[in-house]
Chain A
Amino acid sequence: MVINMRLGPNTYSAGGFYDELIDQDGTARPHAARLADYFSAMRPDELVARQRAVDKTIVDMGISFTIYSEGDNIDRAWPLDIIPRAMPGDEWNRIEAGLVQRVRALNLFIDDLYNDRRILKDKIVPAEIIDSSRNYLQPCMGVSPRHGVWANICGSDLVRGGDGTVYVLEDNLRVPSGVSYMLENRNVIKRVFPGLFQDHRVRPVSEYPTSLSAMLQSIAPPDASGEKPEIVVLTPGIYNSAYFEHSYLARTMGVELVEGGDLVVGDDDCVYMRSIEGLTRVDTIYRRIDDVFLDPEVFRPDSMLGVPGLMRAWRAGNVSLANAPGSGVADDKVVYSYVPDIIRYYLQEDAIIPNVPTWRCSDPTHLDHVLAKLPELVVKPANESGGYGMLVGPHATRREHEQFRELLKENPRNYIAQPTLDLSTAPTLCDESLEPRHLDLRPFILQGDSVAVTAGGLTRVAMRKGSLVVNSSQGGGSKDTWIVEVGH
């Protein structure tokens, strides 16, 4: 068996896909040249030893995620590949501008939907798409949160296609997760490869908790109690798969991590936290529970996770919620297909980062095309996340194609279709050799009184050969993501 250990000409091949570090003729891309040199100088056993050091550091630092399996919760060590994924700084500048543009437009859009509905009246987005969305929440009508911003924390998934173009694959505007792993990935790689950072100018990511805290302060009600607004992180509890992150963010911001039962809404429609000092007023809640569990008085009456009266307090402007309830209306995948139009409508600009071409099954001509080309396409339900309920045409059986044809005809509004993308790859350590693996990127965008974007984000890797599934619950891994200043 030939083991390709070395990066560089004639040894590592991405097999026709766009590789983030190595170009088609096998040489390292300029921004990745030193990175490639560094790892090329390592013998196979050294690479494996470093991977073990990374794994051990992750266990020692307690970086874990929880999966629910057979009635029990298991904490798994977070999977991190040793080789960073690098992008050049000038390319990132453009992407960052595109993300800022996108989030600004999406927030103007959500605010419009819950107030004047101008964009619907002007028939840019069909009203029936919005009115039939289960994330368009009636109790949010007429509310305008501080700065008119609804989605304060956005995690947009980016992918790179075969020709090198970066696309937005989806916008996560409800409770996007993963940012703690982005931060910890950097901490681990710094510990295990201190020398690597001396040779590179990599943009830091460590200011995220500070930016998050500043954003949460900026959206506190104007009459916030005291000089420093009281911020809390609201978690469903230790059994939630992202509990590590909830606890991590609360700890790094220096705020309380609360559960629904810790909060109470008073007769004055203000939110209080039960603490050993007594009842303490809460100004901003970074909530990591879904809309429908927020308030049993308004949404699901059986919710044990929420706080009775919370929507009342929020509507009265006595507490800020990040993200605001109802923000999810804009991460419906049918709405996604209109984002370039939405950007043009509110900002009079063209989208800087393109969407993946998308067919809406609600449109009869689109539906005909999708039904005809199903084996080549990816079909996604409009309102699911985590990669569930989708069909990857080329990897599916004939029977599955038939099942989806029926589903699409029954409920076309609920589906969109996209071409199967040739996701880009990067060298990844797999069983003692470096092999190309497909990946995506989730940057995090914060908007309060201003907009901030992480330098890079969380790179997720499909560890199985040829696989496009990057979700950690389904065997995905991750990489430290470097935005490298070139020409220094």
Chain B
Amino acid sequence: MLSRAAERVYWTGRYLERAENAARIVQQYSQLLLDLPDEVGVGWLELVRIVGAMDEFRASGKPDTETGVLEFLLAENDGSTSLAYSLRMARENIRNTRDLLPHEAWENVNELYQETRRSLGPAAIGEDRFEVLAECIGECQKISGILTGTVSHHSPYHFLTLGQSIERADMTSRIIEVAAAYIQHNERLVRRYGSSLWTNVLKSVSAFQMYRQYCQRQVQGIRVIDFLLCDRALPRSIAFCVDSARSSCAALPRGETTSAALDDVDRLLQPIPAEQVQAADVTALMDTVQLRLGDVHGAVAATWFLHEDGA
């Protein structure tokens, strides 16, 4: 398989996942702010910090308001953070690898891109935000379904999986950060609203039912974080993403460096001791997880993408 094709398939996986996660995280955060009384002081800017785009946001000159932040995170603009941008890049990458991926995947990505070009701008300010985001999440899931249901488990599939897993692990760590923000901002409030807030976190990654079935009846903050971090059976947990990236690595030639980088991520995935949990510790841990995931991406690129300077 050509390096260029591998790279494009990998980024198709990443951008599709990034688009879905952008929709999820905005939805979750909107819900959160509806639940919290204003005096808590959790603002929209926090969301920009969580997705790691503060510098770009400042450069965009958009205001710190709900509309400003949502236009930045959803609609097509000059930046490379928005949901619309992710879909455009997913489309560009899949368009260039149409020979390797099923035709229906291209058609659906193209349709979604065309549709969201119309809907995301108004959604950033309008009343139908939840509807548009839910639609977008559903379409992304449909495309993932087409890909998992039809792509043979050879190299293209494994690059798709690598991209998807790395992106998903990264975003789950950011969603855990949002959760940590609850604790950080108001412990009294968490005691009062706690279980509904954590339920909201679980729902944002479609993990509420699985938590109730396999973890415990009661929704408890620390257990939710552990579940999203370490549960090896939950498809959106970081541990699960690391496992699936690792098995794709093993199926590809010369995967050793990337596997080692994934092991480094895995070592960070330990249950958090309940008695002494501090929001800052969780945030610091997630920052480290994100850095190590960045190293995994670096290993993938250096091993397989063979750019001009690396060749």
> Which residues does A use to contact B, with CB under 8 Å?
62, 238, 247, 250-251, 256-259, 261-262, 264, 273-279
Contact = CB atoms under 8 A, between A and B. Distances in A.
B252 A279 contact: no
Contacts of A277: 253-254
B127 interface: no
Interface residues of B, number: 17
Contacts of A238: 95-96, 98
B99 A257 contact: yes
9 contacts: A259-B4, A264-B311, A274-B311, A275-B2, A275-B306, A276-B254, A276-B304, A278-B306, A279-B311
A262 B4 contact: yes
Nearest to B103: A62
B97 to A, nearest CB: 10
A275 B96 CA distance: 16
B99 A274 contact: no
A274 B253 contact: no
Contact of B4 (A247, A250, A274, A278): A274
Given A62-B103, A275-B2, A276-B1, 5 more contacts: A251-B99, A257-B99, A262-B4, A276-B2, A279-B306
B254 A256 contact: no
A251 B103 CA distance: 15
B148 interface: no
A257 B6 CA distance: 13
Which of A275, A276, A277, A279 has its CB near the most chain B CB atoms (within 10 A)? A276
Contacts of B2: 256, 258, 262, 273-276
B297 to A, nearest CB: 16
Interface in B119-142: none
Contact of B99 (A247, A278, A279): A247
A460 to B, nearest CB: 26
B3 interface: yes
Contacts of A276: 1-3, 6, 155, 252-254, 304
B4 A261 contact: yes
A194 to B, nearest CB: 25
Contact of B306 (A251, A259, A274): A274
Which of A62, A262, A274 has its CB near the most chain B CB atoms (within 10 A)? A274
A259 B97 CA distance: 12
A262 B3 contact: yes
Interface in B1-15: 1-4, 6
Interface in B248-268: 252-254
Contacts of B3: 262, 274-276
Contacts of A275: 1-3, 306
Contacts, number: 41
Nearest to A261: B4
Interface in B164-204: none
A90 B253 CA distance: 54
Interface string B289-311: 00000000000000010100001
Contacts of B311: 264, 274, 279
B169 to A, nearest CB: 22
Contacts of A274: 2-4, 306, 311
Contacts of B254: 276-278
A276 B103 CA distance: 24
A277 B99 CA distance: 20
A431 to B, nearest CB: 31
A262 B98 CA distance: 17
Contacts of B4: 259, 261-262, 274
Nearest to A280: B2
A278 B302 CA distance: 11
Nearest to A277: B253
Nearest to A250: B99
Nearest to A259: B4
Contacts of B99: 247, 250-251, 257
A232 to B, nearest CB: 9
A47 B254 CA distance: 57
A256 B155 CA distance: 14
A384 to B, nearest CB: 31
A274 B2 CA distance: 6
A62 B98 CA distance: 11
Contacts of A279: 306, 311
A277 B155 CA distance: 11
Nearest to B307: A274
Contacts of A247: 99
Interface in B204-257: 252-254
Contacts of B95: 238
B111 to A, nearest CB: 15
Nearest to A237: B96
A242 B222 CA distance: 58
Which of B4, B98, B253 has its CB near the most chain A CB atoms (within 10 A)? B4
Give the 7 A-B residue pairs with the shortest CB-CB distance, closest first: A274-B3, A274-B306, A276-B304, A276-B1, A276-B6, A277-B253, A262-B2
Nearest to B306: A274
A169 B107 CA distance: 41
Which of B2, B3, B98, B253 has its CB near the most chain A CB atoms (within 10 A)? B2
A238 B6 CA distance: 17
A276 B4 CA distance: 9
Nearest to A279: B311
A276 B95 CA distance: 20
Contacts of B1: 275-276
Interface in B148-173: 155
Which of B99, B252, B306, B311 has its CB near the most chain A CB atoms (within 10 A)? B306
A159 B99 CA distance: 36
A456 B103 CA distance: 32
Nearest to B159: A276
A273 B3 CA distance: 9
Contacts of B252: 276
A398 B126 CA distance: 63
A238 B3 CA distance: 17
Nearest to B253: A277
A383 B4 CA distance: 35
Contacts of B306: 274-275, 278-279
Contacts of A273: 2
Interface string B77-107: 0000000000000000001101100010000
Nearest to A272: B311
A233 B292 CA distance: 39
A256 B98 CA distance: 14
A176 B144 CA distance: 40
